[in-house]
Structures are given as structure tokens and as C-alpha cells.
């Protein structure tokens, strides 16, 4: 069985999670700090970072969980006792 971290760092999951994080992170930053960004006033860098990190983590976790579930169901259909 492939470990969580091996799957999380696989090329496909990494690539898709980064794409999702960029799109969702940009939208969240525009919603949460758009006024400050346009006005040129102080912005919260930790919040900007978190607005990208959280969608990345959620997308990665969901993709790994989905991949593991698919593999588990595939093994059950094939009659394999172990993953």
C-alpha cells in the first residue's frame, strides 16, 4: 500500500492541488483583502499565505483519500485480501 505522503507528492496530485490552490487562493485573497490591495494599504501576509495553503491541503487530502478509496475498492473487486 502506498503511503499518504507518497501519494500526496505524486506528480498528478501535486500538480492538480497547486492549480486549485492558486485559483481558490486568489479568489479568497480578493474577497478577504481586496479593498486593502486596491487601496495600497497594509495587507496581512500570514492571511495571504493561509489563503493559498488551506485550499492546497484540502485538495491534496481529498485527492489522496479518493485515490486510496478507489484502490481499496479495486482490490476488493479483484478478490485481493490486502491493499
Domain boundaries, the chain: 4-78
Q: What is the pLDDT of residue 30?
A: 95
User: Is residue 36 very low, low, confident or very high in pLDDT (cuts 50, 70, 90)?
Assistant: very high
Identify the residue with better confidence: 27 or 2: 27
The answer, yes or no, to whether residue 46 has pLDDT greater than 80, is yes
Q: What is the pLDDT of residue 6?
A: 93
Write the CA distances from 71 to 14, 18, 63, integer angstroms.
19, 23, 12
User: Is residue 82 very low, low, confident or very high in pLDDT (cuts 50, 70, 90)?
Assistant: low
CA 54 centroid distance within chain: 7
The answer, yes or no, to whether residue 20 has pLDDT greater than 90, is yes
Each residue of 13-34: b (16+ CB within 10 Å) or e?
Answer: beeebeebbeebbeebbeebbe
Amino acid at each position: 500500500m502506498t503511503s499518504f505522503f507518497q501519494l500526496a507528492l505524486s506528480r498528478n496530485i501535486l500538480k492538480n492541488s497547486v492549480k486549485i490552490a492558486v485559483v481558490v487562493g486568489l479568489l479568497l485573497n480578493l474577497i478577504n483583502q481586496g479593498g486593502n490591495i486596491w487601496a495600497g494599504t497594509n495587507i496581512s501576509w500570514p492571511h495571504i499565505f493561509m489563503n493559498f495553503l488551506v485550499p492546497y491541503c484540502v485538495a491534496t487530502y481529498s485527492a489522496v483519500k479518493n485515490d486510496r478509496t478507489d484502490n481499496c475498492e479495486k482490490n476488493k473487486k479483484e478478490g485481493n485480501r490486502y491493499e
